[in-house]
Amino acid sequence: MSHFLRTSYHFDLPPELIAAEALSKRDESRLMVVDRKSRKIRHLHIKDLPKVLNDSYAIVANNTRVFKARLFGERVGTGGKVEFFLLKKMADRTWQGLMKTSGRVTSGFQFKVGDVLAEVVSREETTSGAFITAKFSEDPIEAKIGEVPLPPYIEAKRKLLGLMSSDQGQHELEIYNTVFAKSDGSVAAPTAGRHFTPELIQALAEKGILWNELTLHVGTGTFKPVTTDDIREHLMHGEFVEISQELSDHLNQLKRQGKKILSVGTTTTRALEGAYDRRTQTLLPKKGEVNLFIYPGSQHAWSVADALLTNFHLPESTLLMMVASFLDEESGREWLFDLYQEAIRGKYRFYSYGDAMLIL
């Protein structure tokens, strides 16, 4: 039962290992390579991937793009501070999101961000908190009133170090996104994909390692923390996934040929596993939401991903639980924490701007 307790996925991380800024060269990030069969580990760098992998692998990555989703404004009438975090566009100029302000927010609540006026039209209470839907006088993306939605632990670490702790404009957005980002829609980056450079992708291609892309727009399903004591009671919010017919056909063919699929990041992995049809034993095309929650004891039958490239994740997060399951359904939690302790001893950099782990 211990692997169903949220607190059993807690670990203590020295604050100095939280990466406050990205490396200037993406592929210089460190890489812990874990072999599940031999249980051996190697300490390398992302740029060493062409030496680690061979043409028996095909890579799948998430090409979503982060947009400026954080809005800072003030309440109409009182001038009280308001923060609105855009999550999902519901209709013309209408967005669902999360709001921070003093007092309870109900329908009719009005706030301004610059010259753009917004009014709350509904409030939805869930076990994960309240989701607010607001209609804006001008679409906030078109009005360019948002800021880069950096994770709060990066903001906090920068403030501690005396670094700039808020939006750094387009430059920060380009750093936070992957180099192959195409489709706007995410409020957090698929961070494992951040390590790749055009040169690294080319080097992999020259070894016959095929590069493929899907789209999963990162939202609350990824970053919302588990708050229930029993993780089986956690509500996993759906996130939009798009897997084309061409991609699903291609990956099914590769699997039949005996190729191994290296999934870049937990978001890519959730998309692939969520779109797999166990009845036909094939990956299906998908254009809609996936809310798959994988954790040790969930009895998930891993079907598409054969290898996983992933960053080092927050304690008690659904991402951490998925990686534990991928390592081993029975002993993955204990093994993962052994690996994390090894990373801590080796002073690996953690979280969104941190280093990575490759599980083969």
Share of the chain above pLDDT 90, in %: 82
Contact 236, 318 (CB under 8 A): yes
Tokens of 238: 């759906």
Q: How far is CA 177 from CA 1, 184, 190, 259, 355, in A?
A: 38, 10, 8, 28, 15
114 in the same domain as 55? no
Which CATH number belongs to the domain containing residue 110 in this structure? Answer: 2.40.10.240
Range of the domain at 207: 2-66+171-359
Tokens of 68: 């400026």
Domain count, the chain: 2
The DSSP 8-state label assigned to residue 5 in this structure reads B
Read off the pLDDT of residues 236-295 as tens digits, 9 standing for 90 and up.
988 999 999 999 999 999 999 999 999 999 999 999 999 999 999 999 999 999 999 999
Which CATH number belongs to the domain containing residue 223 in this structure? Answer: 3.40.1780.10
Residue 164: pLDDT band (50, 70, 90) is low
210 in the same domain as 325? yes
180 in the same domain as 257? yes
Exposure b/e, 4-14, CB count within 10 A at least 16 = b: eebebbeeebe
Give the separation between CA 349 and CA 111, rounded to whole angstroms. 39
102 in the same domain as 226? no
pLDDT at 263: 98
- Indicate the average pLDDT of the chain: 93
| pTM as predicted | 0.93
84 in the same domain as 41? no
pLDDT at 258: 96
* 215 falls within a domain: yes
Contact 30, 344 (CB under 8 A): no
182 in the same domain as 246? yes
pLDDT exceeds cutoff 60 at 167: no
176 in the same domain as 268? yes
End residue of a domain, out of 106, 128, 143 = 143
DSSP per-residue codes, 151-189: -HHHHHHHHHHTS--S--THHHHHHHS-TT--EEEESS-
pLDDT exceeds cutoff 80 at 127: no
* 160 falls within a domain: no
Give the separation between CA 201 and CA 205, rounded to whole angstroms. 6
303 in the same domain as 283? yes
* 179 falls within a domain: yes
* 312 falls within a domain: yes
